[in-house]
Amino acid sequence: MTLDGAKHQVDHAFTREDMRGQTFENTFGGAVSFLRRRYTKDLNGVDICVTGVPFDQSVTNRPGTRLGPRAIREASTLQPFDPPYGWGYDPFSELSIADYGDLAFDYAKVGDFPEALTNHIRGILATDTASVTLGGDHYVSFPILKAYAEKYGPLALIQFDAHSDTWPDDDMDRIDHGTMFYKAVKLGLIDVERSVQVGIRTTNEDTLGITTLDARFVHEHGPVETANRIKSIVGDAPCYLTFDIDGLDPAFAPGTGTPVWGGLTSGQAAIILRDLAGINLKGGDVVEVSPPFDTTGATAIAGAHIATELICLWGWNKRQSG
C-alpha cells in the first residue's frame, strides 16, 4: 500500500484483506481498531493479536480504566503509517497482526470475570498466537498469567509500575488490583528469581524475592543500564511483560487511577523497552489507562506506543529465527 492509497482506504478495521502492511487511512476517520489492524475472531495464520479487557472493578482509587482499550485504540491510529522508530524492522509488514476485539463478560457478575478472562486468553494461545492486552485495571494480569503459565510454565515477570502489587492477600477469590502478583507468586505462576519490577516508588518491604529496580535506580543509572540489568535477571526464561501506565510519571501519564510522582519519563521507557530486544517474550499487557483523567490524551498515546513496542519486542525473536 502507498500513501496515495489513503484516498481509497476506509474502515480497514473491517475491510483490509492482508493482515500485513502499513495503513494510510486518515487518522481522524474510519472505524477504529488497534493500529488499523483487522478485527477478527479467526486467528488462523495470525502471529500476534491485540485484545481489550474493559474491566475496572478491582480499583482502590479512581475508576475509569474500563474505557482504556477504546482510548488506546484511538490513540494508536497515529502510528500505522511508518515502522516503529528505532527497531530496524517493520513489524507491520513482517508480522501478521490482528485486533481480536474485547473480552465479553457480565459486569454484574464480577466473580465470574477471572475465569472468563483466563478462558479468553487460553483460546488465543491455543492457536499458537501471542497476545498483547489493553486494560483495564491491573488485576487483569492475574487471570492472563494463569493462561500463560498453563502453556509455558512459571514465567519471568517484567513489571513496570509505581506499585509492587504484592501486598499480602491469601484469599485467592478476592479481586484486587494491588495484590494479584502476591497471589501469582504463591500459586507458582511467576519465577521469582527471574522476575523484576521497574519504576517502583511506593513502600512494600516484602518483595517476595522479586528484584526491584525502583524509579531512583532508573534515574541514577539511566535507561540503558536498566535494560541491561533487566536482561541479566531474566536471561532466556520465557517472560511476560506488564506495563502499568503509572510506571510513568504523572507529567507523562496523568490519566490513571493511582498516580505517584517521581516516575519514569516516556523517553526512559522507550529506550528500556527497545533495549530489551532479544528477551524471550511470550506476551504482555498495558494497563491502568483511565481516559476520564486523561485530559490531553497523552496517557492513551503512551499506552498505544507501549503496546506497539510489545509487538516489536515479541516479533524481534520471531524475525531473528525466521
> How does DSSP assign 244-274, residue by residue?
EGGGB-TTT---SSS--SS-B-HHHHHHHHH
- DSSP assignment string, 231-248: HHHHTTS-EEEEEEGGGB
Each residue's pLDDT, cut to its tens digit, for the chain (322 residues) gives: 455 555 667 777 877 777 787 877 777 888 899 999 999 999 999 999 999 999 999 999 899 999 999 999 999 999 988 999 999 999 999 999 999 999 999 999 999 999 999 999 999 999 999 999 999 999 999 999 999 999 999 999 999 999 999 999 999 999 999 999 999 999 999 999 999 999 999 999 899 999 999 999 999 999 999 999 999 999 999 999 999 999 999 999 999 999 999 999 999 999 999 999 999 999 999 999 999 999 999 999 999 999 999 999 999 998 866 5
Place of cell 506499585: 163
Cell 470475570: give the residue. 113
Residues 70 and 52: their CA atoms lie apart, in Å, by: 8
For 71, list phi and psi in degrees, rounded to 5. Answer: -70, -40
DSSP-based three-state secondary structure for 196: strand
Residue 239: closest CA among 156, 315, 312, 148: 156
Cell of 185: 507468586
Q: How many residues does the chain have?
A: 322
Q: What's the chain's Rg over C-alpha atoms? A: 18
Is residue 224 classed as helix, strand or coil in its secondary structure?
helix
* Cell numbers linked to 37: 489492524
Distance between CA atoms of 284 and 145, rounded to whole angstroms?
9
DSSP letters for 6-63: GGT---HHHH---SSS-----TTSS---GGGPPB-S--TT-SEEEEEE---TT-SS--
CA 86, CA 272: separation in Å to the nearest integer? 12
> Which triple of cell numbers denotes residue 274?
527497545
Distance CA 240, CA 117 (A): 16
CA 77/CA 121 separation, integer angstroms:
25
pTM above 0.75, yes or no: yes
Domains and CATH numbers, the chain: 43-78+99-321 (3.40.800.10)
